[in-house]
Each structure stands twice: as structure tokens, then as C-alpha cells.
Structure 1
Amino acid sequence: MSPSPLQVLAIDIGGSKSKAAIVDSNGTWHSERERLPTPKLATPKDLLPVLRELGALLDMPFARVGVGFPGVVRDGVTLNAPNLGKGWKGYPLADRLEKLFGTPCRANNDADVQGLAVIEGQGTELVLTLGTGIGSALFRDGVLLPNTELGHLPFKKGQSFEKRLGEAALLARGKDDWCAEILEAIELLREGTAFDQLYLGGGNARILEKRDQLPPGVRCVRNRAGITGAARLWA
């Protein structure tokens, strides 16, 4: 008889909002989603009370904590956080949250985590998250190449994918121009990675989906995938 799946406090830290739910390690949800604003230019001192409050709002027992973080994470330690504040270089996030919640914690890059919830495990699969910044995750036959951070590569007019396609660019240039450049970026990434399937996540992916502009081999995934993937860190 297989063991029961672990109940996980699954947290998705975003540049503007942080979200959490109780989800088991198989990806089944056991609560509604709670959301709180991520403090602007959040430092660890700013953010940890927000995560503690999310856990309190859910008010349900859990055996593990899983976290998707908007930056490079290695062995539970954050190496950067381009859309947060200072203090994240070399920050032991998993260890601090383990002490905060009194239970083991695993943390990983948010796009990598989202991929755990959506990939099928066949061929080359690329995840692109469209939110405050641009996140990416690349899988080959279900195996993750961690912390790819394609959003920081040069894209157009001497600017990175993130600079051209992040939320600030969307607000500054409008949806029509932004959507056109997203489609350009997709074809460039198709040439560069030869992906079999591209998954678009994050809060701004729905703009393309609503316009019915998705090219072949591309589909949008639910914004909840970041939370589900955080729980699947314990699968």
C-alpha cells in the first residue's frame, strides 16, 4: 500500500503578489488560495512576515512547505531576486522557512516549480512565465535543466526578454505591441530550443489566450500551477 501524500503549505512568491494553498504532494488541492501583496522591493525581513500570514490565513495542518521563488535558487539558497529588493544573494530561504513554520521546506525557482505542475515528461518542454518579470524552465523528457533564466538574455533593441516583455513594458506600450513582441519571442525561443511544447503561465499569459493568438505547440496553463508545482517539490 502506497503512503498517503503529504499535506504541503505550497507558496508561490511573485513580484507583486504572493499566493498560497494547502495542496498535497500529488497535486490535489485541499484549500482555497490565499493572496497577499508582496512588499515593493521586498527584502527577506519584509517578505517572511507575509509568508507567515499566508500560513495563518489558511489555518490548516500541513507536514511540509514548498516554495516557488522569483530568482535563482540552489539547494534552497537564493542567489538573486531581480524583481524583489536587496538581501537575497546567498539567503538560506528553505532553512529560514523551515524554522518559521517548524516543518521541512523545499524551495526552487518559480518557473521551474511551475513546470513540475504542467509538463508531460516527453521531449523538450519549455515553460515561460509572464508576470512582473519573465521566468523560464526547460525540461527534456521530464528532467529539469534548473535556473535557465532565459528572460535575462538579449532579445530586441539591446534589451532583454524581461525588459521588453515584463509587466512594466506591457503597461508602457499597451497590449497590441506587447502581444506582437511575445509572438516574436516565442518564435525566437522555438528556434533556440527546438521545443516540442511551450507552456505560458503567469498572470499576463491570459492576454494572449483571450485573443486566440497562440501559435502551434503553445498553450496557456492555469495561474494556480505555481502553487501546485510548489507542492510537487515533495512528490
Structure 2
Amino acid sequence: MNVLDTAPDARVGIDVGGTWIKGALVNLETGAPAGEVLHLPTPAGGTVEAVADTLERLVGELGAPGTAAGVAIPSIVQQGVAWSAANMDHSWVGLDVQAHLGARLGLPVSVVNDADAAGIAEARYGAGKGRGGVVLVLTLGTGIGSALIVDGTLVPNFELGHLEVAGYKAESVASAVVREREGLGWDEYAERLQQYLSHVEFLFSPDLIIVGGGISACSNEYLPRLSLRTPVVPAVLQNAAGVVGAALQSAASRVGPLSLAV
């Protein structure tokens, strides 16, 4: 049974980033935010309590009291506990974030890795909708986030941005921020992305690769320059994917294991 068959129609989704914390009430039938996606600045330093204060404010502004919330964070997440902290304070590491935020917000809270949130949103509502097999979602931004979905089931914390390619960590040479910082033209950037994606394709043989992150808006500049056996398509949900995926994860966590089958 699809988990969404027994889930409420809407959940709060929150995406905690290094610069902005975004949130919305998400319609789980359509995968669309039910209203505006609100943005609040991420507190400097990204400490647990400062972020929790911002989440309280955000939930209040969304006007959805009592609604369960999903929170996507830039961390490896196992059973609600954070085991890394990208662009956040080290105090997150080892914390039961799910329990802590649940207590602070007074709501049922489900916590998920931010790339996993974007991945499950694209698989359920976006470019991967209706696709079986192995779907790989990559977000090109400050680093490279990744999510792997196999026949509708998420493989959590799939950190492919840390793969080594030609002696370098992949996200240190092929992220969107690196392209901007080094002033790379699209040909040169596509060459780096080609090398990375060819390596990923060889290791995992995906049936579909979805490229997201802010750079997906410019996909016509670099995707036509790639040559892979696997189809590579731009993400559909773009910057709302983390918010939508967090809400979806919240619904799934209340009724059973996450399945993305339509």
C-alpha cells in the first residue's frame, strides 16, 4: 500500500540550508506548496538552539498549529540522530535532532537528510514520477548532494559528493559553486561533470539521473554537452524540492516505511 493513502492531505515541510531556512505547508496529493514558500535567514553559526528558534518562528508564520512537520537538514541522519554537520555548528553531531525539535516545536517532527528530501520529492512528484528501477538524484550547489531511489524505496545518506575522481573529492571540482568561483565556461564545466557522472554511472548503473540544485535552471547550457548511456534530465521542483520532500518524509514516518510508488 502506498503510504500516502493513509496520510493527511497536508504537512509542514522545512528545509534548513546554510543561508536560508525555507518552509511551507505542502499538499501531499499534488506535491505543491499550499501557499507561499517562506524564507528566513539561517542564524549565523547555525547552532542548534538558534536554528530551533527560527523554526519556531517559521512554523508560527505558516499558521499550521498541530500539523506534523518534516525537517530536512544538511547532515547524515540515522534514526533521527545527526552524524555530520555541513555548514552548521558542530553541536548538531550526535544530537537526537528529531526528539529535540519535536520538543521545541511541540509537534511530531521527522528529520531527513536534505539531499534525500530533494530526491524523494523528485521521485514522487517531479522528473522521476512513475519511473521504476534505479533513480539517482544529484543536487549541484555549494557541494554535491545525492539521493538514490531503487524501485520506489530510498537508500538513505548516499553521499556521492565525496567520491574521489582523478584524485579530488568530486564536489571540490564539479559543484555549482566551484564553477562560479573558478569562472568556468560551460564547456569546461560540462567536461568536469562528464568525468564525475561517467564514474557514477560505472559504479551504480542508474536507469535515470536527475540533476537539481539552483544550476538546474541552466540545464540547457551543460546537459546537451554530456555523453552518457544513462538518460540525464533536469529536476522539476528546483528550490522547493527539499521543502516538499521533508513534508513527504513526515507523512511516511507516521504510517510506515517510505515508498514512492505512485
Q: CA deviation at 1:40?
A: 4.4
TM-score when scaled to structure 1? 0.89
**Alpha-carbon distance in 2 for matches of 1:18, 1:39:** 9
Aligned counterpart, 1:18: 21
Counterpart of 2:80 (choices 76, 83, 103) is 76
Aligned counterpart, 1:220: 234
Counterpart of 2:169 (choices 120, 137, 160) is 160
Q: Measured at CA, do residues 92 and 25 of structure 1 come closer, stay the same or move farther in structure 2, by a change above 3 Å?
A: farther
**Alpha-carbon distance in 2 for matches of 1:178, 1:74:** 34
Counterpart of 1:172 (choices 158, 168, 181) is 181
**Alpha-carbon distance in 2 for matches of 1:13, 1:201:** 17
| Mapping 1:1-235, distance limit 5 Å | 5-26=8-29, 27-119=31-123, 120-156=130-166, 158-176=167-185, 177-207=188-218, 209-211=219-221, 213-214=223-224, 215=226, 217-221=231-235, 222-223=237-238, 224-233=240-249, 234-235=251-252
Contact 1:71/1:82 (<8 A) preserved: yes
Contact 2:82/2:95 (<8 A) preserved: yes
Contact 1:15/1:133 (<8 A) preserved: no
The alignment-based identity, stated in percent, is 33
Alignment partner of 1:195: what SS? coil
Q: Which structure has more helix as a fraction of its residues?
A: 2
Gaps of 5+ in 2: 124-129, 253-262
Q: CA deviation at 1:167?
A: 4.7
Q: CA deviation at 1:29?
A: 2.4
Q: Measured at CA, do residues 144 and 57 of structure 1 come closer, stay the same or move farther in structure 2, by a change above 3 Å?
A: same
Q: CA deviation at 1:48?
A: 1.6
TM-score when scaled to structure 2? 0.80
**Alpha-carbon distance in 1 for matches of 2:14, 2:58:** 9
**Alpha-carbon distance in 2 for matches of 1:151, 1:170:** 15
Q: CA deviation at 1:122?
A: 0.5
AA aligned to 1:171 is E
Q: Where does structure 1 differ by over 4 angstroms across 4 or more consecutive aligned residues?
A: none
Alignment partner of 1:45: what SS? helix
AA aligned to 1:201 is G
AA aligned to 2:213 is G
Calculate the aligned-residue CA RMSD, in Å: 2.1
Q: Measured at CA, do residues 109 and 5 of structure 1 come closer, stay the same or move farther in structure 2, by a change above 3 Å?
A: same
Q: Measured at CA, do residues 23 and 159 of structure 1 come closer, stay the same or move farther in structure 2, by a change above 3 Å?
A: same
Q: Measured at CA, do residues 85 and 204 of structure 1 come closer, stay the same or move farther in structure 2, by a change above 3 Å?
A: farther
